Amino acid sequence: MLERLDAAFALLTLARSEQRIIDPQEDDLTDIVAEAMDRISIRCRERQLRVEATLTAAPLRGNLELLAIAVSNLLDNAVKYSALGGLVQVTTVQVSPGWVALTVGNDGEMLPADQVGLLFEPFQRVPAQPTPPPCPAPGWGCRSSEQWPRPTAAAPPPRPVPVAA
């Protein structure tokens, strides 16, 4: 029941964000990520996953509810698509003043490049991937992140962190 309420709240937040009803607030990305990591800890233990986190200060201003949904979705997917007994890596960093980066990696299969665009469509699943274990995340984290500003030449985009085997 609690998962359904979380999903309903997330859907409402996403709908409000598309109407531009936002309440930007200041926080640190590390706090948002740490809370999301607490929520996935049981599933990590069940799947015998190692979690390596390097969380450095990353102050930001934005829609914290929407960001929390996107972060939770990314971490849920990292757990869901990681190999049993595998590794999930999470990093936060302030790239430059006003720009932060979150990197989430795992040792699961790579997403085919021609299917990355599907991630930004609401409620889409990438069909070529094996069916993961059931998860309450309905697939809107990347869609919500599409509304955020993109890095410019002044702030280089974050690079993926390789996952050690």
- For residue 57, what are the contacts with CB-CB under 8 A and spacing of at least 6? 28, 30, 94
**Residue 48 token pair:** 């015998």
Rg (Cα) of the chain, in Å, rounded? 16
Q: What is the pLDDT of residues 72-84, one digit of tens each?
A: 989 999 999 999 9
Q: For the whole model, what pTM was predicted?
A: 0.66
pLDDT value of position 121: 74
pLDDT value of position 23: 75
Q: Which domains does the chain have, with CATH numbers?
A: 2-145 (3.30.565.10)
Q: What is the pLDDT of residues 101-131, one digit of tens each?
A: 999 999 988 878 888 777 777 667 666 545 4
Low-confidence ranges of the chain (pLDDT < 50): 1-2, 5, 8, 11, 129, 131-165
How deeply is 111 buried, as exposed, middle or buried, from its count of CB atoms within 10 A (0-12, 13-18, 19+)?
middle
